[in-house]
Amino acid sequence: MPDNLLTIADKSFSSRLIVGSGKYLTNDQMAQALEASGAEMVTVAVRRVNLSDRSAASLLDHIDTSRYFLLPNTAGCYSADEAVRAARLGREAGLSNWVKLEVIGDEKTLFPDNEALLEATRILVAEGFVVLPYTNDDPITCRKLEEAGAAAVMPLGAPIGSGLGIQNPNNIQIIKEASSVPVIVDAGVGTASDAAIAMELGVDGVLMNTGIAGANNPVDMAEAMKLSVKAGRLAYLAGRIPKKMYATASSPLDGVIGT
Amino acid sequence: MNIVLNGETYKTDGPLTIGRLLSHLAIDRRRVAVEHNMNVVKQSNYDSTIVNSGDAIEVVNFVGGG
């Protein structure tokens, strides 16, 4: 079965792994990890320029934008208004109309505020944005986001940066089954097996940042994630065997010596 | 006159364009986005948009994020 591309809106990507650019020790380390991840889409945050220290190198000096498609996020926004403003600024700075939409409802969990997320999605879709909302793993919210015009839905596997893995695989599967836009598991992946589990559920892609950037060796972890996303996708397409209570012999039952 | 630049009071000699403000701050205009009184200013309008006393300006760029 040909399965090479992740297609969202009018763009296709050959990698199903989307990576963040935050939390790396150095820009060089980030660049190496991006390379090792094989990702083609990279999230970035929109923040005030540091006016008191203009010496810091620009992030964009370290991300080759002819190779990586930049996905500006609205991280840190706690209302629809703030998120919409950040999205508009991101569009102007990045010259693309794509946005990873986050509207956070709570500082401790960083869970999304679904109501505000829906409101911001509607506003940005009307303005011509390609909206990829980061959402709870709630099938109803995902359905509403799709109805509001989201180009994909991005349910969390677990809280941002928690590394807990896929906490509610049933919901992720229900979301995938019910969605006609791509489903990207965004947040919560702690190690390679978590990414593989997400992909084995049949989702279209995985987005992660801390799972790679926070590893002891981010470059090696980026490669591990690349392989696990591929492995998980392949296993999903191959079709796993059903789980059973008891053993089924792999070797023939006839012709065993001594019988 | 005073403006509010990235949330802080900032003094200028008088009204000026966004373009002048950015060059005064030594900011590469291709790497940032600018909001003037809550509205995004297109790069092509930097040299025709005047900042007046009391105006709020946000100058943002991309940083690492997830």
**Nearest-angstrom CA–CA distance, A63 and A58:** 9
The answer for residues whose C-beta is within 8 angstroms of residue A79's C-beta and 6 or more apart is: A103, A116
**Nearest-angstrom CA–CA distance, A20 and A186:** 10
Strands A17-20, A130-135: parallel, antiparallel or unpaired by DSSP? unpaired
What pLDDT score was predicted for residue A55? 66
Cβ neighbourhood burial of A14 (10 Å; 0-12, 13-18, 19+)? exposed
Pairwise CB contact (< 8 Å): B65 & A58: no
What pLDDT score was predicted for residue A63? 95
Residues of chain B positioned with their CB less than 8 A from the CB of A70: 62
Return mean pLDDT, chain B.
Answer: 96
Pairwise CB contact (< 8 Å): B62 & A60: yes
- Please tell me which of the candidates A85, A93, A208 has its beta carbon nearest to residue B62: A93
Q: Answer yes or no: is the ipTM higher than 0.90.
A: yes
**Nearest-angstrom CA–CA distance, A78 and A110:** 10
Query: Do the beta carbons of residue A229 and residue A200 sit within 8 Å?
Result: no
**Nearest-angstrom CA–CA distance, B35 and A91:** 12
Cα–Cα separations (whole angstroms), residue B52 to B9, B18, B38, B40, B56 = 13, 10, 14, 16, 9
- Token output for B37: 């009184």
**Nearest-angstrom CA–CA distance, B37 and A85:** 11
Question: What digits encode the pLDDT tens for the residues A188-232?
Answer: 999 999 999 999 999 999 999 999 999 999 999 999 999 999 999
Pairwise CB contact (< 8 Å): A92 & B43: yes
How far A175 CA sits from the closest chain B CA (Å)?
Answer: 22
The DSSP line for A37-82 is: HT-SEEEEEEEE--SS-TTSPPGGGSS-TTTSEEEEB-TT--SHHH
Domains along the sequence of chain B with CATH = 2-60 (3.10.20.30)
What pLDDT score was predicted for residue A18? 98
What pLDDT score was predicted for residue A2? 56
Name the pTM for this structure.
0.94
Sign of CA dihedral A102, A77, A82, A119: positive
A30: three-class secondary structure by DSSP: helix
Residue ranges for chain A with pLDDT beneath 50: none
What pLDDT score was predicted for residue B31? 87
**Nearest-angstrom CA–CA distance, A33 and B66:** 14
Pairwise CB contact (< 8 Å): A21 & B27: no
The answer for residues whose C-beta is within 8 angstroms of residue B31's C-beta and 6 or more apart is: A58, A60, A93, B61
What pLDDT score was predicted for residue A3? 72
Options 1.10.300.10, 3.20.20.70, 2.40.50.180, 3.90.1150.10; CATH for A6-238 is 3.20.20.70
Query: Do the beta carbons of residue A183 and residue A137 sit within 8 Å?
Result: no
Task: Give the catalytic positions of A in this structure.
Answer: 100
User: Does residue A51 belong to the interface with chain B, where contact is any CB pair within 8 Å?
Assistant: yes
What pLDDT score was predicted for residue A58? 84
Sign of CA dihedral A117, A123, A125, A128: negative
